[in-house]
Homo-oligomer: A and B are copies of this chain.
Amino acid sequence: MSPRADRRRVDVPDLVARARDGESRAVARLISLVEDESPALREVMAALAPHTGRAQVIGITGAPGVGKSTSTNAVVAALRADGRRVGVLAVDPSSPFSGGALLGDRVRMGDHASDEGVYIRSMAARGHLGGLSWSTPQAMRVLDAAGFDVVLVETVGVGQSEVEVAGLADTTVVLLAPGMGDGIQAAKAGILEVGDVYVVNKADRDGAANVARDLRSMLALADRREGAWDPPILKTTAQTGEGVPEVVAALDEHRAWSASNGELVRRRERRARAEIEAIAVSALRSRWSQVGQRDELDELAAAVAAGDSDPYAAADRLLDADA
């Protein structure tokens, strides 16, 4: 199918209207347009923009095995009990090429499959811009504009992705669990900088109190500015739902806090800045790959590979040619 044919076929205003009416097929189609980098994407984003900024965006991250999916499901259930509509994006960075996202959808819908107030989508972290940074923020815009009260973004905490999700969310939940071996060690690296709410899941198991205590000491050591948010450490047993309402309360409290002091707007502007930059960079990359500029880049690459130039000098010439 040519880009032109695709553009003709997509009736963007109609899709957006239907998504805003709560039709989940329209939501799914819009997210697919995002993931596929459809030529209609610009039109979609322009149509969504006026309806964005309402949803509470929550990031949930943690190492494999801490019970992330179970916790997400439990939080969704608690939010639903409260009457809120919830959109979930589950980002799996281990499946760059996977068609597994679809299977994941079906498996995960489980508890909420027949609930119109819940939309769950698994997203493979693919794309030339590297995973989260590309399609996830745009899929979040779709859910936000479609009127979901809460957008949950669930990511596996591997290195940079937990930092990225923190950049995306209004509030970031970091999940830990006992018996994860070097969980806390791994946590040390990045997690202390990103959590607004910490949750020790599997609180019924041995060692949960230790995890919470270790975490508390580490957080106590961290530099905190005057008036900064003091991240609570909560305990849950997501499987039974124990402790989950307290998590939801903490999420709402952080949201109210950040809305009251400007932090929410600052985070959203930071998120928008990162999005704009990523799109601008992508536009430049595609410009560089077009005829003319592509020849220039090929020549520069050949010179660098041959040791006749270095990548900095070559980058300067590429940018000069671009201006």
Residues of A within 8 A of B (CB): 41-42, 45-46, 48-53, 93-98, 100, 125, 130-131, 137-138, 158-160, 163, 186, 189-190, 193, 265, 268-273, 275-277, 279-281, 283-285, 288, 297-298, 300-302, 304-316, 318-319, 323
**Contact partner of A285 among B42, B94, B277, CB < 8 A?**
B277
Q: What's the Cα separation between A96 and B165 when bound, in Å?
A: 14
**Contact partner of A189 among B52, B96, B297, B316, CB < 8 A?**
B96
Q: What's the Cα separation between A316 and B319 when bound, in Å?
A: 17
In the complex, the answer to whether A279 meets B311 with C-beta atoms within 8 Å is yes
In the complex, the answer to whether A283 meets B315 with C-beta atoms within 8 Å is yes
A-B contact pairs, 8 of them (CB 8 A): A96-B160, A130-B130, A138-B311, A269-B301, A273-B297, A275-B304, A276-B315, A280-B318
Q: What's the Cα separation between A131 and B125 when bound, in Å?
A: 16
Residues in B neighbouring A279, C-beta threshold 8 A: 311-312, 314-315
Closest to A45 in B: B310
In the complex, the answer to whether B276 meets A311 with C-beta atoms within 8 Å is yes
